[in-house]
Amino acid sequence: MPFLLLKEVPRYECLQAASSRVPGADPTICELFLNILHTGDVVSRSEGEFLARHGLNQARLIVLVLLDSAENGSFRSSELAERAKVSRATITGLLDTMEKAGLIARAPDPHDRRASNVKITAKGGVLLRKVQPLLMEWSQGILSALSSPERKQLVKLLHKTQQAFAAAQPFGRNGSHAIPS
């Protein structure tokens, strides 16, 4: 049963084969570990390909969603970095690209001349409102392959996994709690 994975995914298959040579390794845990990574990989790549068809990627989508949900219409770039889970330096480059693409705009803060306020543009809003329903539709078309109880069970186990890792690395950069239901 597990060997189905072996032929299809050289990357994870080779890691699994390698781990089986490590004495004391529990193959079921190893298999789980690699499958979590592989599934995340598969889903993330798929989503990336989907978003790329609309000129987006995960990072840009998150920035758009965050800005769209901003109560006062804008965020500091440092605030965006924190919420999007990237460094401040990274958000600078990301915003550069998105500004060039016309999706966001930066305006100097009138009260603090060090800061600038970032807001979503009309173009960015239009794109977001086009892509979001498509993304929902796409993901639901795929994940409806799992039954409702299966989905519920999977979420439960994923939460437990997240908690296990959070407990093991309590000093990680981000608090990293489970997504609330």
**Where along the sequence are the contacts to DNA (CB under 7 A)?**
57-60, 76-79, 85-97, 100, 106, 109, 112-117, 173, 181
Judged by beta carbon distances under 5 to 8 A according to partner kind, the member of a copy of itself, DNA, none in contact with residue 70 is: none
Judged by beta carbon distances under 5 to 8 A according to partner kind, the member of DNA, a copy of itself, none in contact with residue 92 is: DNA
**Measuring CA to CA, which residue among 58, 56, 103 is closest to residue 85?**
58
Q: What are residue 146's phi and psi, to 5 degrees?
A: -95, 140
What is the H or E stretch that residue 75 is in? strand 75-76
C-beta of 114: minimal distance to DNA in Å? 4
Looking at beta carbons only, is 20 or 87 nearer to DNA? 87
Looking at beta carbons only, is 4 or 179 nearer to DNA? 179
- What gap in Å lies between CA 67 and CA 70, rounded to an integer? 5
C-beta of 80: minimal distance to DNA in Å? 8
Judged by beta carbon distances under 5 to 8 A according to partner kind, the member of a copy of itself, DNA, none in contact with residue 52 is: none
Taking a C-beta distance cutoff of 8 angstroms, is the pair 90, 81 a contact?
Answer: yes
Mapped onto helix, strand or coil, the DSSP state of residue 105 is strand
Judged by beta carbon distances under 5 to 8 A according to partner kind, the member of a copy of itself, DNA, none in contact with residue 169 is: a copy of itself
Taking a C-beta distance cutoff of 8 angstroms, is the pair 57, 98 a contact?
Answer: no
C-beta of 57: minimal distance to a copy of itself in Å? 13
Looking at beta carbons only, is 107 or 157 nearer to a copy of itself? 157
- What gap in Å lies between CA 174 and CA 114, rounded to an integer? 26
